[in-house]
């Protein structure tokens, strides 16, 4: 798929736009940020995050709903701070994420703890801090959580993650609600698991949850999953176990490459119509969006190091790599890549594979892109706010990138660039 030499509209990113021929995030020139802070550099728009959150808030107006940002999408402290200050709770999957939320000022009572492999130490840490709910993923985990709670003299609020066996129609690696996935409790085992949970002394059943996958661009899988979950709520409550809240997970997709997911408010208007029709519209609702809150709020700036023409392929070698932007290597994912300051159409553009310096053939960021570039130019990898920095690694002893949060005309450095020394600071010689 080729992209134009000078792009007209960037996908779904009103706060990231060309002005007078150069790319800006809100009121800040990206070329200035690259010059001052170097590259690779992640830049996020606070206004874009709050506007994405606003769509959910509009969708839930007049309802009892808690939005828990799934922080795995981007767990940088200042990003968490933006959502905490906007009233969000958090969906966490590790003790490390719990520590981050607390460091960013998140409210423990609004934290839900997901994940198939919580350790006893993580359970104890979360119980003692008083999190809102454990989203439990197996009957074995119920037993362990009850033991940990009893020995701490506490009761753990629990919701069971149901696997509704619904196809979210997304990449297999980010599909989580099908029978063959490791997540959740099988639909047919759910009632038994709830009876089990209700019988354990250390647990208090408070909810039910599901999450069927990520980068979902259609409404139907959500409607199908909702039907299946509501059927279960009916069965569980008929068995005498009250369900206080219903959590429908996250998963809403973003526009990477002409994708057309529904807007969050439009999606929820349809889902709430179904909830109302089935008599559950006034229940306490929870959701766990990640990607849709941050994905299109961020870009990654990278400098062109070398152009390497070849017989079969031309390569544009940049200073960002798969350790900074792992999604293409992991899921063959697409990110638009555009010049920060497009050159006038003087010379001929070329088709390039955009690749990084890491010693892997899988280290590519974009394939077959039409670009007019020279060494030294800065490119912006778009839609890089979610599942990029939070998945970044030190492979090839590459320090992780710096991060900037833009708020209007202000650019805040929210993470310093990691030095080589930082990458081996915890190691020692024998």
Site of interaction with ligand PLP (CB under 6 A): 70, 72-73, 91, 114, 176, 211, 214, 249-252, 288-292
**Integer distance in angstroms from the first to the last C-alpha of the chain?**
51
| Cβ nearer to ligand PLP, comparing 24 with 286 | 286
Which one from 133, 300, 316, 359 is the annotated catalytic residue?
359
| Cβ nearer to ligand PLP, comparing 60 with 315 | 60
Do the bridges between strand 111-113 and strand 133-136 make them parallel or antiparallel, or are there none, so unpaired? Answer: parallel
Q: Least distance (Å) from ligand PLP to the CB of residue 247?
A: 9
Question: What angle, 0 to 180 degrees and rounded to 10, lies between the N-to-C axes of helices 220-238 and 190-199?
Answer: 50
| Cβ nearer to ligand PLP, comparing 156 with 174 | 174
How far apart are the C-alpha atoms of 80 and 66, rounded to whole Å?
A: 16
Q: Report the DSSP beta bridge partners of residue 70.
A: 91
How far apart are the C-alpha atoms of 181 and 188, rounded to whole Å?
A: 15
How far apart are the C-alpha atoms of 381 and 78, rounded to whole Å?
A: 21
Instruction: Please count the residues of the chain.
Output: 430
Cis peptide before 338 (omega within 30 of 0): no
Q: Least distance (Å) from ligand PLP to the CB of residue 264?
A: 10
Residue 300 bears catalytic tag: no
Q: Least distance (Å) from ligand PLP to the CB of residue 73?
A: 5
| Cβ nearer to ligand PLP, comparing 184 with 339 | 184
Contact predicate 69/104, CB 8 Å:
no
How far apart are the C-alpha atoms of 145 and 127, rounded to whole Å?
A: 10
- Which letter does DSSP use for residue 257 in this model? S
| Cβ nearer to ligand PLP, comparing 94 with 302 | 94
**Which tokens in the block code for residue 319?**
């200073």
How far apart are the C-alpha atoms of 157 and 137, rounded to whole Å?
A: 14
Q: Tokens 């997709």 — which residue?
A: 253
Q: Least distance (Å) from ligand PLP to the CB of residue 146?
A: 21
| Cβ nearer to ligand PLP, comparing 187 with 211 | 211
Nearest alpha carbon to residue 105 among 133, 126, 125, 86? 86
Q: Least distance (Å) from ligand PLP to the CB of residue 72?
A: 6
| Cβ nearer to ligand PLP, comparing 118 with 369 | 118
Q: Least distance (Å) from ligand PLP to the CB of residue 267?
A: 12
Q: Least distance (Å) from ligand PLP to the CB of residue 170?
A: 9
DSSP 167-184: ---S-GGGB-SSTTSSSS
Q: What is the 3-class SS of 21-37, one letter each residue?
A: CEEEECCEEHHHHHHHH
| Cβ nearer to ligand PLP, comparing 46 with 291 | 291
Q: Least distance (Å) from ligand PLP to the CB of residue 14?
A: 20
The CA angle 323-327-329, to the nearest 5 degrees, is 70
Contact predicate 319/283, CB 8 Å:
no
Nearest alpha carbon to residue 415 among 395, 397, 388, 396? 388
Q: Report the DSSP beta bridge partners of residue 403.
A: 42, 415
Mind telling me the catalytic residues? 359
């Amino acid at each position: 798929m080729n992209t134009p030499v000078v792009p007209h509209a960037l996908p779904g990113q009103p706060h990231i736009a060309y002005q007078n021929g150069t790319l800006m995030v809100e009121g800040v020139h990206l070329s200035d940020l690259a010059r001052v802070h170097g590259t690779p550099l992640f830049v996020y728009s606070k206004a874009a995050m709050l506007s994405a959150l606003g769509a959910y808030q509009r969708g839930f107006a007049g309802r009892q709903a808690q939005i828990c940002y799934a922080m795995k999408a981007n767990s940088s402290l200042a990003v968490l701070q933006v959502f905490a200050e906007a009233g969000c709770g958090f969906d966490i999957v590790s003790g490390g994420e719990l520590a981050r939320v607390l460091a960013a000022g998140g409210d423990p009572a609004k934290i839900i703890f997901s994940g198939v492999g919580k350790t006893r130490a993580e359970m104890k840490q979360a119980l003692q801090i008083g999190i809102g709910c454990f989203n439990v993923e197996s009957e074995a985990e119920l037993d362990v959580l009850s033991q940990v709670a009893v020995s701490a003299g506490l009761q753990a609020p629990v919701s069971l993650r149901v696997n509704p066996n619904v196809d979210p129609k997304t990449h297999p690696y980010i599909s989580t609600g099908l029978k063959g996935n490791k997540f959740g409790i099988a639909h047919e085992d759910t009632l038994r698991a709830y009876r089990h949970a209700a019988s354990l002394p250390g647990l208090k059943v408070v909810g039910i949850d599901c999450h069927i996958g990520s980068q979902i661009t259609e409404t139907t899988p959500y409607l199908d999953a909702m039907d299946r979950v509501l059927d279960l709520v009916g069965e569980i409550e008929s068995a005498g176990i009250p369900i206080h809240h219903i959590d429908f997970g996250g998963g809403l997709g973003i526009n990477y490459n002409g994708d057309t997911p529904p807007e969050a408010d439009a999606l929820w208007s349809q889902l709430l119509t179904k909830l109302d029709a089935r008599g559950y519209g006034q229940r306490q609702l929870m959701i766990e969006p990640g990607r849709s809150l941050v994905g299109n709020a961020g870009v990654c700036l990278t400098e062109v190091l070398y152009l390497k023409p070849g017989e079969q392929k031309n390569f544009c070698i940049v200073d960002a790599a798969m350790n900074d932007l792992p999604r293409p290597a992991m899921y063959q994912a697409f990110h638009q890549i555009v010049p920060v300051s497009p050159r006038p159409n003087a010379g001929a553009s070329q088709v390039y594979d955009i690749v990084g310096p890491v010693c892997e053939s899988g280290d590519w960021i974009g394939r077959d892109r039409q670009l007019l570039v020279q060494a030294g130019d800065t490119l912006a990898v778009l839609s890089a706010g979610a599942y990029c920095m939070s998945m970044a690694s030190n492979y090839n002893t590459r320090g992780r990138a710096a991060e900037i949060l833009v708020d209007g005309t202000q650019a805040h450095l929210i993470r310093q660039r990691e030095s080589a020394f930082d990458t081996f600071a915890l190691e020692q010689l024998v």
